[in-house]
Structure 1
């Protein structure tokens, strides 16, 4: 029973591993674009599960102990809280972590090159239009891809 509570790695290595993997995953997810953090498709869900599995070993290394897992979990939760806390107070960090809205259509014109750059298909854009109750592209005053991956549509004459 004592093996369950004994660390196989020094505690500080678990903290460093957790911090390094958290930062690396945050950067990778941020670089992958807004679509990753919006609504999940089945492909996105598979990716998230596989990402979790792929970094599991990097987080805990050889340490399969209960305290080792709890240390890494505490580091991840603490870092997540810290990033949220600092993002709420530092606009530059918020823009880096969360991103900024992107204009994808204006006055009935869809910017297909922007959609392509953001990895948004026309079908996804049209679904965003329908969700906003916009029957057609010609009804769009402004459409914005939000940092969370959702598409906000303002219809003409809706002020």
Structure 2
């Protein structure tokens, strides 16, 4: 029974992180921390790293803190921490590697879902300003972007 609860907490955490990604992107990154996120929309430096990369540190600290609580008796910390970590890995693979090609992988993916995710992200990035552009999560992109 404990294993089933562990799996449900992990999957629930992973799913909630999609909402958190949308919320953080819309209200934090395009809000009061635009100064960290704007170089993701309009590169103003020669570095491979972006100021925007600082956002992953916040979620990494939350995940590591949950691992710490789990090691000290709060067993829910394991599935919560791993759910956040798994979402972060998925986000890195989809957003940074697949969409932005920070590593030259998955360049020829022509699946309808892959094309829809790229199309939606491109529409978001055509706006360079703080208040412009539709914000959405990584996995649950509006269906209007999926054309066969």
Q: TM-score, structure 1 length as denominator?
A: 0.37
When Rg is computed on C-alpha atoms for both structures, the one with the higher figure is: 1
Q: RCO (CA 8 Å, sep 6+): is it higher in 1 or 2? A: 2
Structure number having the greater helix percentage: 2
